[in-house]
């Protein structure tokens, strides 16, 4: 079953439009939290950033497309973490 992140990635891929993301304090906050905390679930990302699930889902999908973070599945749960070397 696809999670909201997969759906956002597929939506962007189908549209084949360029994705432009504004790098603000909000985006930096997500990357900083992932660097400090390590792997987090979507719910944890939402709670720690105080963003709703829709907002954080879009941003995580964009970060995956840009190669900044990766998603992996472990014990029935999707996790997000910075890619190696980030």
Identify whether the C-beta of residue 69 lies closer than 8 Å to the C-beta of residue 83: yes
**DSSP calls for 60-73:** HHHHHHTTSEEEEE
Identify whether the C-beta of residue 41 lies closer than 8 Å to the C-beta of residue 78: yes
Instruction: Give the tens place of pLDDT for each residue, 3-15.
Output: 777 677 767 666 6
Instruction: Give the tens place of pLDDT for each residue, 18-76.
Output: 666 678 899 999 999 999 999 999 999 999 999 999 999 989 988 998 889 999 999 99
Say which DSSP state 84 is in: T
The model carries a pTM of: 0.76
Instruction: Provide φ and ψ at 83, rounded to 5°.
Output: -70, 155
Would you kindly state where each structural domain of the chain is located, as residue ranges? 1-13+38-86
Collapse the DSSP code of 75 into the 3-class scheme (helix H, G, I; strand E, B; otherwise coil) and give the result.
coil
CATH of 1-13+38-86, one of 1.10.260.40, 1.10.10.10, 1.10.357.10, 1.10.3720.10: 1.10.10.10
């Amino acid at each position: 079953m696809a999670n909201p992140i997969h759906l956002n990635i597929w939506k962007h891929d189908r549209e084949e439009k360029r994705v432009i993301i504004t790098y603000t304090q909000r985006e930096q906050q997500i990357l900083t939290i992932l660097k400090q905390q390590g792997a987090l679930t979507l719910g944890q990302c939402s709670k720690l950033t105080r963003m709703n699930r829709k907002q954080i889902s879009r941003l995580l999908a964009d970060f995956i497309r840009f190669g900044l973070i990766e998603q992996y599945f472990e014990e029935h749960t999707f996790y997000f973490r910075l890619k190696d070397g980030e």
